[in-house]
Amino acid sequence: MKKNNFLKDLVGRQIFIPIAALLVLALFNLIADPAFFKITLGTNSTGDPVLSGYLITILDYGSELAILAIGMTLVTAASGGQDISVGAAMAIAGSVTLKVLCGSNTRPETLQAPIIVGFLVAVIVAMLFGAFNGVLVAYFKIQPMVATLILYTAGRSIAAWINNNELPVISDPAFAYAGGFIPGIPIPTTCIIAAVCVILIVLVMKFTALRLYTQSVGINESSARLNGLNPEMIKILAYVILGVCVAIAGFIKVSRLSTINYSVIAKDIEMDAILAVALGGNALSGGKFNMGASILGAYVIQFLTTTLYKFNVPSAALPAYKAVVVIALVVLSAPTVKDKLSGLGKKLKSGKQGKEGA
Partner 1 sequence: MSGTKKAATAPKRKFSLNDLTDSNMLLLITVVVFLLMYIFAVVALGGGFRAPQTFLNILGAQAALIIGSCGMSVVMIIGGIDISIGGVIALVCMSCAVYLDYSNGNVFVAVLLALAIGAAYGLVQGFLVAYLDIQPFIVSLAGMFFARGMTTIVHTEPFNVQNEQFVALKGTRITVPGLGTTNRLGNYIDAYIEIGVVVALLVVIVLFCVLRWTKLGRNFYAVGGNKQSALMLGINVKRTKFIAHMICSVLAGLAGFVYFLHVGSGSPSHASGLEMNAIASSIIGGTLLTGGVGNIAGTFLGVLSLSTIQQIVSSLGLDQAWWTGITVAVMLCLFLVIQSVVQSRKAKS
Residue with Cβ nearer partner 1 (59 or 160): 160
253 Rama class: left (phi>0) / alpha (psi -120 to 50) / beta: alpha
CB of 320 to partner 1, least distance (A): 2
Q: Which residue from 230, 210, 250, 238 is spatially nearest to 80, judged by alpha carbons? A: 238
As a whole number of angstroms, the distance between CA 219 and CA 285 comes to 9
Residue with Cβ nearer partner 1 (51 or 275): 275
Taking CB under 8 A as the rule, does residue 336 contact partner 1?
yes
Alpha carbon of 307 to those of 187, 245, 335: distances in Å?
Answer: 21, 26, 29
Using alpha carbons only, what angle is made at residue 237 by residues 229 and 253, rounded to the nearest 5 degrees? Answer: 160
For residue 352, the SS3 value is helix
Q: Please pick, from the candidates 52, 57, 157, 259, the single residue that binds partner 1 as defined by CB under 8 A.
A: 157
Q: Please pick, from the candidates 11, 284, 341, 348, the single residue that binds partner 1 as defined by CB under 8 A.
A: 284
CB of 49 to partner 1, least distance (A): 38
Q: Which residue from 303, 309, 318 is spatially nearest to 268, judged by alpha carbons? A: 318
Alpha carbon of 31 to those of 24, 40, 54, 83, 261: distances in Å?
Answer: 11, 20, 15, 38, 38
CB of 142 to partner 1, least distance (A): 5
CB of 249 to partner 1, least distance (A): 20
Residue with Cβ nearer partner 1 (102 or 151): 151
As a whole number of angstroms, the distance between CA 243 and CA 129 comes to 7
Taking CB under 8 A as the rule, does residue 274 contact partner 1?
yes
Burial status of residue 187 (CB atoms within 10 A of its CB: 0-12, 13-18, 19 or more): middle
Taking CB under 8 A as the rule, does residue 335 contact partner 1?
yes
Q: Please give the size of the binding site for partner 1, defined by CB under 8 A.
A: 46
Q: Please pick, from the candidates 105, 285, 342, 350, the single residue that binds partner 1 as defined by CB under 8 A.
A: 285
43, β-bridge pairs: 49
As a whole number of angstroms, the distance between CA 346 and CA 286 comes to 31
CB of 202 to partner 1, least distance (A): 27
Which residues 243-272 are close enough to bind partner 1 by CB under 8 A? Answer: 271
For residue 89, the SS3 value is helix
Residue with Cβ nearer partner 1 (190 or 306): 306
Q: Please pick, from the candidates 92, 96, 115, 160, the single residue that binds partner 1 as defined by CB under 8 A.
A: 160
Q: What mask of x and - would describe binding to partner 1 in positions 97 to 136, judged by CB under 8 A? A: ---------------------------------------x
Taking CB under 8 A as the rule, does residue 143 contact partner 1?
yes
CB of 150 to partner 1, least distance (A): 5
Taking CB under 8 A as the rule, does residue 196 contact partner 1?
no
The region of 17-25, 143-151, 222-230, 234-242 touching partner 1 under the rule CB under 8 A is 143-151
Yes or no: say if 44 and 248 are a contact pair by the CB < 8 Å rule.
no
Taking CB under 8 A as the rule, does residue 32 contact partner 1?
no
52, β-bridge pairs: 40
Taking CB under 8 A as the rule, does residue 309 contact partner 1?
no
As a whole number of angstroms, the distance between CA 282 and CA 288 comes to 7
Torsion angle of the four alpha carbons 221, 226, 232, 235, in this order, in degrees rounded to the nearest 10: -50
Residue with Cβ nearer partner 1 (181 or 239): 239
CB of 339 to partner 1, least distance (A): 11
Taking CB under 8 A as the rule, does residue 82 contact partner 1?
yes
Question: Rule CB under 8 A: which residues touch partner 1?
Answer: 82, 136, 140-143, 145-147, 149-158, 160-161, 165, 271, 274-275, 278, 284-285, 314, 316-324, 326-327, 330-331, 334-337
